[in-house]
Amino acid sequence: MRYLTLVFVLLLSISWASSYPTHEIFMQCMATQFGPYTKSVEIIYASKSSLYSYLLQSSQQNPRWLNSTTPKPLLIITPFQESEIQAAILCSKSHDYEGLSYLCKTPFILVDLINLRSIEINLEDETGWVQSGATLGELYYSIAKKSEINGFPAGICPSVGVGGHFSGSGFGTLLRKYGLAEDNVLDTYLINVNGEIVDREAIRGGGGASFGIILSWKIKLVLVPPTVTAFTIHKTLEQGATKLVSKWQYIADKLHEDLFIRVIIQDVENGTQKIVQASFQSLFLAGLGLEAQDYIEMNWIQSLLYFNGYQNGDPLEVLLDRKTLYKSFFKAKSNFVKEPISYIGLEGIWDRFLKKDIKWEVNSIRESNKHVHWIRMLSKYMKPCVSKYPRAAYLYYRDLDLGTNKEGSMSYSEARLWGVNYFKGNFKRLAHVKSNVDPNNFFKNEQSIPLLPEY
């Protein structure tokens, strides 16, 4: 589960198809936008640049997309100012699990917002403004430096970029009390298809990349107690993991809102034997006063270090590291479960974990196909256990197996086949918004919101 959350850092960048045949024409256009004394060349990197590979890899947390067969952007742009993004949009007329921030079948330009990551915290009204290039770790660090009683309900992985995370929901240890990150967004500024900076309140939950480039977010801070309690308990099948997971399914939604418990299922090595282990990770928004070694009392910001595997006493500055501690190849799938999975269903899942091959550590087509096949088989097995009509999925555990937009022909009726999995009945509403704000479908990718037929 820790690996899966990392993908959200990909959304620090937005990519789009370029209609210009060469990067020289694009450079000429940028020079025209900024005048004859432009410094735009200092923020634009072609494949021959010594920094090109570094920039391409720096925020890409899934090595699966760094192989030699993956299409690469014609140019990488690292703007320092909003006007430079506006110019890039005007000159380009033509972020996630499946690498859509880094991949495209047609020539494309990648805009990396890494230099646009300022954060302003206002404790008087308990709000903040954060630019899209910032990471969750940078946001949490900025809050903690100003307040010991304020936090923000978003993910636990510090290297995740706020831009994609906020626009696609954003869940973490505070969700049971305060909801998702998007529930606590008050306002946004974005650059639309015309290169204009506009104020929009409603860019929440629909995936911002379909409507423009989001520059900054106004967020509502929440109150956290001075002391919280965290624990992690590991149980194997022999120790009754199946019974505990089954019981957790029945009580998880009935627990007090201050208590968060998630379960991570993984296969681990026990000597020469592979076993299935269930890890129960919890955060309780109060102190328990217990002496048991399984329970640790700390403040809220320290709990983020705890859930990321840092050691007690590590400085808060580790949150500023934009690289994750754990980088792994992966293919993700997600489901929403409306009814508890039966004992038999759980045991079938464990059996498939035990039959899984070794960890995905080699970046080759053969290894990729093998591991992707395994997760597809697991997903097929779980079909009777999860939601139906549609089989709901989480937007930013991006899964192109659900369906994609056809290049050059984005039909709403075809897109609806995968869109309802993410958005259910809201998909048509999002298509209506898309048709109004981006009628020529400039901001698009394999799973972007399409236009309605009448537009």
- The 3 state secondary structure assigned to the chain is CHHHHHHHHHHHEEEEECCCCCHHHHHHHHHHHHCCCCCHHHHEEECCCCCHHHHHHHCCCCHHHHCCCCCCCCEEECCCCHHHHHHHHHHCCCCCCCCCCCCCCCCEEEEECCCCCCEEEECCCCEEEEECCCEHHHHHHHHHHHCCCEECCCCCCCCCEHHHHHHCCCCCCCHHHHCCHHHHEEEEEEECCCCCEEEECCCCCCCHHHCCEEEEEEEECEECCCCEEEEEEEEEHHHCHHHHHHHHHHHHHHCCCCEEEEEEEEEEEECCEEEEEEEEEEEECCCCCCCCCCEEEECHHHHHHHHCCCCCCCCHHHHHCCCCCCCCCCCCCCCCCCCCCCHHHHHHHHHHHHCCCCCCCCCCHHHHHHHHHHHHHHHHHHHHHCCCCCCCCCCCCCCHHHCCCECCECCHHHHHHHHHHHHHHHHHHHHHHHHHHCCCCCCCCCCCCCCCCCC
How would you class 77 by CB atoms within 10 Å of its CB: exposed for 0-12, middle for 13-18, buried for 19 or more?
buried
Of the candidates 176, 175, 185, 177, the one whose C-alpha atom is nearest the C-alpha of residue 208 is 185
Amino acid at 297: E
Nearest to 411 by CA among 431, 426, 437: 431
Which entry of 396, 397, 412, 422 is annotated as an active-site residue?
Answer: 397
Per the DSSP assignment, residues forming a β-bridge with 234 are 279
With contact defined as beta carbons under 8 Å apart, do 75 and 23 qualify?
yes
397 noted as active-site residue: yes
Residues with catalytic function: 397
